[in-house]
Structure 1
Amino acid sequence: MVIAALSTQTWPRPFLKWAGGKGRLLEQYYPYFPKSFDTYYEPFLGGGAIFFHLTGRFRTAVLADINPELVNVYQCVRNQVEDLIALLQEHRQQHSQTHYYAVRSQTELSCSVQRAARLIYLNKTCYNGLYRENSKGHFNVPMGRYKKPAICDPDLLRSAALALQSAHIRQASFDFVLQRATSRYDLVYFDPPYYPISATSNFTGYSRYGFTTADQEQLSQVFATLAERGVQVMLSNSDCPFIRDLYAGFNIHTIQATRAINSKACRRGKITELLITSY
């Protein structure tokens, strides 16, 4: 793959808006990153803020998500970034309410790079940058109210493409890491849909599959199995008794965060969440 030269020095960072993205928490996370590791695993990829932040500190990365459209986006950024940029520039020129809903209704695109451009365009122009699917796997978020949405940032996409050259990207459930991560030279970071601490926070619609209490319990067992092998494991989740009990045998750190998505502005604001480490 040929990537055009960056017009400015751009450090890789997330190119998608993502509910629960960790970009604003990196300063608090910094003391808890392990000093050394060779392979980095991220089974709930989302916006990839931790992956991009740690770029340069590992030899290879294995990135995964259960959402096939999200996985396709990352693969296209890595392999076809210039084609992707060209399509996004077309979306930027055509952007309007009519165009948004016409693109949102496209559910049968066969070309992978067209599908990737569609997701990025919708992500940049939808309400609150919220990714949500219905039971059929169709994106169903209404258009946001942005005067000049940043639909295409060529330098940002090219820097992400360079960072992704060392990454293996696959569609998989989080437990695939049990087949791959085996030693203290591995770092696994889990950022699952958070356990709901109220009825209004019960959002797990990143994909059609949802994320249940049983999934949270299975994830804690995967965490414990990896830790027993000596794998370095990190996990983010809600600050609540259920999660504290699941990970009672590990190091639990309290993080100051901000709840950014709620239908009522008065319910957005400061909140604590947890960062759990096995080391």
Structure 2
Amino acid sequence: MVVALEQPKIKTCPIVKWAGGKRQLMFDLLDNMPKSYNRYFEPFIGGGALFFELQPQNAYISDRNEELINLYSTLREKVCELIEDLNKHENSREYFLKIRNIDRSKEYKKLSNIQRASRFIYLNKTCFNGLYRVNSQGHFNVPFGNYKNPKIIDTNNLIHCSGLLQKTQIEHADFSEILHNVQKGDFVYFDPPYVPLNQTSNFTSYTIDGFDKDMQFKLRDVCDELDLRGAKFMLSNSDTKLVNELYANYEIKKVFASRAINANGRSRGKIAEILVKNY
């Protein structure tokens, strides 16, 4: 009798750095995952640290950031062309500003999906702190990072991630749209823009419209609906009075993460965050 051995997973890593990324909290996330579930959903995909760690075989990912979703869709469908376009980029301030400022001109609308995805990765790898931030006009406005040798192209990881995304439904959509797809036994991981710890820490500029307090209430309502349907969810957010009150009916666990959005490295330290789950 011949026994078929299960092939080991090829490791995949996030393609872009994302504010509030979850790689450093991976142990806590994995430790709090449900033991079993059907389909995997992540409607605030961002850098997708948990998604790329789990490598789900039947997943749904979405985000309101159109450029980010274009990146994932292009990577799934045209990875070779994307890698080819990435090879043209230069690591210099002058070139960075030229590419960054394209979205302020008519030329931007002429870019192909491949060129837009390539620009997205390039800016993420070379801008300050890997931030994605746009102003009120939707223009990318993060300064040059001045890194000596940023890894703009990771060919093997891009190819492996493209393979994973072949099995993934990718949507440019509001988080509430998952309610059209989630069924009993499915699992949803929410990693929304966090409730700010204070008035100076509000950072929701991933899209023009941001993510305000009303959206936090809307998110809680979506979680309540998922619970009623018999779906499982886990949610990350800041350890604030508002968040604890919103999810008082669910299990809340405190975790700690180092956050590096602050430009002053000395003020970066362990910050309490919470995980909410209904199982």
TM-score (norm. length: structure 2): 0.93
Of 78, 93, 113 in structure 2, the residue corresponding to residue 97 of structure 1 is 93
Match of 1:6 in 2: none
Separation in 2, partners of 1:14, 1:115: 18
| 1:215 paired to 2:205 | no
Contact 2:93/2:146 (8 A) holds in 1: no
Separation in 2, partners of 1:174, 1:81: 26
Superposed counterparts of 1:253-268, under 5 Å: 253-268=253-268
Matched AA of 2:171: R
Contact 1:10/1:156 (8 A) holds in 2: no
Aligned to 2:35, what secondary structure does the other structure show?
A: coil
Contact 1:237/1:275 (8 A) holds in 2: yes
CA offset digits 1:118-165 (Å, max 9, x no partner): 010000000000000111211110100200011111011111111111
Match of 2:203 in 1: 203
Separation in 2, partners of 1:34, 1:20: 22
Contact 1:200/1:262 (8 A) holds in 2: no
Separation in 2, partners of 1:106, 1:122: 12
Separation in 2, partners of 1:212, 1:90: 38
Separation in 1, partners of 2:134, 2:68: 12
**Deviant stretches of 4+, over 4 Å:** none
Match of 1:88 in 2: 86
Separation in 2, partners of 1:87, 1:10: 25
Deviation at 1:260, TM superposition (A): 1.1
Matched pairs, number: 266
Match of 2:59 in 1: 61
Match of 2:182 in 1: 181
Separation in 2, partners of 1:48, 1:137: 22
| 1:166 paired to 2:167 | yes
Separation in 2, partners of 1:77, 1:170: 14
- Tell which deviates more after alignment, 45-54 or 255-264: 255-264
Superposed counterparts of 1:145-164, under 5 Å: 145-164=146-165
Separation in 2, partners of 1:34, 1:53: 15
**Relative to structure 1, is the Cα distance of residues 218 and 149 closer, same or farther in structure 2, using a 3 angstrom cutoff?**
same
Matched AA of 1:257: A
Aligned to 2:244, what secondary structure does the other structure show?
A: helix
Separation in 2, partners of 1:221, 1:133: 28
Deviation at 1:90, TM superposition (A): 1.1
Match of 2:134 in 1: 133
Deviation at 1:272, TM superposition (A): 0.9
Q: Percent of aligned positions with the same letter in both sequences? A: 45
Separation in 2, partners of 1:193, 1:217: 13
Separation in 1, partners of 2:16, 2:188: 22
Match of 2:231 in 1: 231
Aligned to 2:129, what secondary structure does the other structure show?
A: helix
Superposed counterparts of 1:42-53, under 5 Å: 42-53=42-53
Deviation at 1:262, TM superposition (A): 0.6
Deviation at 1:10, TM superposition (A): 4.9
Separation in 2, partners of 1:30, 1:256: 15
CA offset digits 1:181-202 (Å, max 9, x no partner): 1211x11111000000112321
